[in-house]
Structure 1
């Protein structure tokens, strides 16, 4: 039996996604022109995400539709809020099988080069001032992405600590109120700022952040490595290693790779 390609959406995943997509009626001005099937377009997006190929080089023989179609559709779905809802649904499925742990969360940021510039870019202090962006990620205790955000490469990590915590969706999956805040948040010395510690406590979360000047071996590094591992999984998608999109909303579409990581974790159980 042939092994499925990573960009092929299986029936179970597509059943989840299909219910989240906006319903589009046929345009009366073009009654003959049919809209390309959403499933094939979604697989075209996954193909670009996995391989890093340019939109215009999408192989037509695989039936994805034109590169322009696959470029326009994610923006349409982003505007409809499909990606965060997909991530939220999969997080709830993980929690329902006790595969999500809110006792601790870890945060970190990672630079990516933005070769074409665009919004949410800036001169990166760790890449000789070249234009770049930054992915900010928060994970649970075992490294499952809870949410990810995009900023310019010149933004300090600590400025995104509160936005990351606030962006974690309310996760159902068990009886009672949905879970949204972790008990503890772990961060490296880049998040060492007393004002932000106070803001974190105001959200009902205990900050456990490395102080500047702390020697290696404090133990926090071994607990925070889950977020570094999550970045390795996220940047395994080639399209996320370098930002080619000028439009930030198109690049943020590819951060839906967080949802795919959740799906893989769910299927590995």
Structure 2
């Protein structure tokens, strides 16, 4: 993805120009007190937590982010306002306008993460001795550009999220004609092997390319499926996403949505 800046929590002018118009108007202060921490500084604090995995209460005050609670509140408010969803669509449209989205196929997969505490969308993980865990479900285009992400309990079967995740792909404009949201084909591993879902995909005009259980490995799907595994690795390159520290599912989903935007933005930067 190119050379990473040494301080990845610093918001570039280019990225801020995309985000700032999407932020909701702050509520008026009812009581005079300390001046409000500027949104850009609070976003830098949020990115610091996302990249380093540090707990909110240990956010370094000397870097000018504001308090951890200030950044937490700002993240929750912006997520509730749909800022990351809007930003993701904006970035996907930039890519589509340059013919940089590969709609010939999409690839789906999931990854387990340990949950530090029980909460909504967590459950006993079958790969971690039934300890609390969650799953990150991801669908990407043929190059590995994230199209949609979701969070479930660690005990949810991957196949139950196939259609909801497909439905979560936004309609992407950026070219003359109707916005696009459906790939030509969907690639998946054996965890998604079920004839019912093959039929549902065909009904939507999507060709299922799903490995069958019981067949030997070496079908050749791996050369196409590796892109989703690589993008999951990029997601977990953000240290805050390697373990689910938040009890509240919306806060972890906010981090997930922001990380997806940052990964997509890296693809946009490659066009410059």
What is the TM-score of this pair, normalised by structure 2?
A: 0.95
CA distance, structure 1, for counterparts of residue 188 and residue 70 of structure 2? 40
Q: 2:157 maps to which residue? A: 156
Q: Which residue of 1 aligns with 2:48?
A: 47
Could you tell me whether the CA contact under 8 Å between 1:234 and 1:240 is conserved in 2?
yes
Tell me the distance in 1 between the aligned counterparts of 2:42 and 2:116.
26
Asked if structure 2 preserves the Cα contact closer than 8 Å seen for 1:119 and 1:248, the reply is yes
- Give the equivalent residue in structure 1 for 2:229: 228
Query: Deviation at 1:87?
Result: 0.6
Match of 2:207? 206
Write out per-residue CA displacement over residues 157-203 of structure 1, whole angstroms, 9 at most, x where no aligned residue: 00000001000000111111111011100000000011111122222
User: How much has 1:32 moved relative to structure 2?
Assistant: 4.7
Q: Are positions 1:265 and 2:231 aligned together? A: no
1:97 shift after superposition: 1.5
* C-alpha distance in 2 between matches for 1:30 and 1:36: 15
Partners of 1:26 and 1:34 within 8 A in 2: no
Look up the match of 1:121: 122
CA distance in structure 1 between the aligned counterparts of 2:85 and 2:211, rounded to whole angstroms:
30
Q: SS at the partner of 1:19?
A: helix
Counterpart contact for 1:74–1:253, Cα < 8 Å: yes
Indicate if the aligned counterparts of 1:20 and 1:85 stay in contact, CA closer than 8 A: yes
| Alpha-carbon distance, 1:35 to partner | 2.1
Q: What is the CA–CA distance in structure 1 between the aligned matches of 2:114 and 2:76, rounded to whole Å? A: 22
Q: Deviation at 1:232?
A: 0.6
Gaps of 5+ in 2: none
TM-score by length of 1: 0.96
Cα distance change on mapping 1:119 and 1:25 into 2, 3 Å: closer
SS in structure 2 at match of 1:133 = strand
User: Residue in 2 aligned with 1:77?
Assistant: 78
Deviation at 1:26, TM superposition (A): 2.3
Report the Cα offset of residue 61 of structure 1. 0.6
Distance 1:168 1:32 in 2: 43
Q: What are the ranges of 5 or more consecutive residues in structure 1 without an aligned counterpart?
A: none
Determine if the alignment matches structure 1 residue 35 to structure 2 residue 36.
yes
- C-alpha distance 131-25 of structure 1, shift in aligned 2 (>3 A): closer
Q: Is the 8 A contact 1:105 1:138 kept in 2?
A: yes
The C-alpha deviation readout for 1:83-131, integer Å capped at 9, x for no partner, is 1111110011111122111110000010000011111000011111111
Residue in structure 1 matched with residue 179 of structure 2 by the alignment: 178
Aligned residue pairs total 266
Q: Which residue of 2 aligns with 1:95?
A: 96
SS of the equivalent of 2:250 reads: helix
Query: Which digits, 9 at most, give the CA deviation of each residue in 1:22-80, with x for residues without a partner?
Result: 012422x2245432111111111100000000000000011100000111111111111
Displacement of 1:4 in angstroms is: 5.4
* Corresponding residue for residue 9 of structure 1: 11
How many angstroms apart in 1 are the aligned matches of 2:210 and 2:137? 16
Pairing 1:132–2:144 present: no
Given that 1:55 and 1:67 are in contact with CA atoms closer than 8 Å, whether structure 2 keeps it comes out as yes
Structure 1 residue runs of 4 or more that deviate by more than 6 Å after TM superposition: none
C-alpha root-mean-square deviation of aligned residues, in Å? 1.1
1:217 Cα shift? 1.2
